[in-house]
Amino acid sequence: MTKPCIICVAITGSVPTKADNPAVPTTVAEQIESTHAAFEAGASIAHCHVRNDDETPSSDPERFARLKEGIEKHCPGMIIQLSTGGRSGAGKTRGGMLPLAPDMASLSVGSNNFPTRVYENPPDLVDWLAGEMRSYQVTPEIEAFDLSHILQAIRLHGEHRLFGNLYVQFVMGVKNAMPADKQVFDFYVKTMQDRAPDAEWCAAGIGPNQLLVNEWAIAAGGHTRT
């Protein structure tokens, strides 16, 4: 049997609103149905963000709880991954939903530039989030915006500071961070294969790079994110 490709569906993200695209699901009810449709279409992981009523990003544990409950009901067996990303809150509020004990949660282990600001993941916050994930048995998906983040994830996993199997996502195409670059992608894959052969990896191309990076990831035997 060949190795299956895991499709992770990022139904909402933290940036787009209905003004950008009326199809973006921003209420919990819309997110549940959108995830359900993706699940029926073959997605195995739901990468979840929640929004306030005005569509701005939120880390509200109560909204995450309702979303998680709905996905569990409509999509039995789907892996639920909640975002601890920095666009939805600052400091420890980013991990306020981890006591819900989702299957997975995103985790950034380094800092980098975003289009107009610094994406701040200071070492003490990374340690705290990783510790909460260990406490609630949440497997992190490492969001690697640069090469050192991959090496840091491998190091932290080797030190038993990341719960579960190591799962690394290469994020490419964010302005002022790592571009969608095939030579870099190939080096990322080689780095994972050489140094963490038991880990899984996936890749996401942001915006117009999405399908390109999906193709690279599938062709190289990795997993993929919408």
Any contact of residue 207 with its own copies (CB under 8 A)?
no
What are the strands, taking DSSP E only, across 54-113? 57-58, 79-82, 104-107, 112-113
Q: Number of residues in contact with Zn ion, rule: CB under 5 A? A: 3
The interface partner of residue 5, options being Zn ion, its own copies, none and the CB cut-off 5 to 8 Å by kind, is: none
Residue 19 sits at the vertex; the CA angle it makes with 214 and 121, to the nearest 5 degrees, is: 55
184 binds its own copies (CB under 8 A): yes
119 is in the binding site of which of Zn ion, its own copies, none (Cβ under 5 to 8 A by kind)? its own copies
Q: From 41-49, 68-76, 177-185, 200-208, give the range in contact with its own copies by CB under 8 A.
A: 177-185
Rounded to a whole number of angstroms, the minimum distance from the CB of residue 19 to its own copies is 24
Contact between residue 192 and residue 199 where contact means Cβ atoms under 8 Å apart? yes
Give me the 23-42 binding string for Zn ion, x by CB under 5 A, dash otherwise.
-------------x------
Query: 3-class SS at 143?
Result: strand
Q: Report the partner that residue 147 touches, choosing among Zn ion, its own copies, none (CB closer than 5 to 8 A by kind).
A: its own copies
State the binding partner of 83 from its own copies, Zn ion, none, CB within 5 to 8 A by kind.
Answer: Zn ion
Structure tokens at 153: 């994830």
> Cβ distance 9 to 226 under 8 Å?
yes
**Residue span binding its own copies (CB under 8 A) among the ranges 18-26, 39-47, 123-131, 134-142:** 123-131
Binding status of residue 115 toward its own copies by CB under 8 A: yes
Q: Which of residues 46-75 bind its own copies (CB under 8 A)?
A: none
Binders of its own copies among 141-160, rule CB under 8 A? Answer: 145-148, 151-152
137 binds its own copies (CB under 8 A): no
Near its own copies by CB under 8 A: residue from 99, 179, 207, 221: 179
- Our CB check for Zn ion shows the closer of 66 and 74 to be 74
For residue 135, which phi and psi values (nearest 5 degrees)? -60, -40
Parallel, antiparallel or unpaired: strands 112-113 and 139-144: unpaired
Say if CB 216 and CB 183 are below 8 A apart: no
Q: Does 74 bind Zn ion (CB under 5 A)?
A: yes
- Catalogue the E-assigned strands of the chain: 7-10, 45-48, 50-51, 57-58, 79-82, 104-107, 112-113, 118-119, 139-144, 167-172, 200-205, 223-225
What is the closest distance, in whole angstroms, from the C-beta atom of residue 213 to its own copies in the complex? 15
Q: Report residue 167 as tokens.
A: 């799962």
Which of the choices Zn ion, its own copies, none does residue 191 contact, using the CB cut-off of 5 to 8 A by kind?
its own copies
Pairing of strands 104-107, 112-113: unpaired
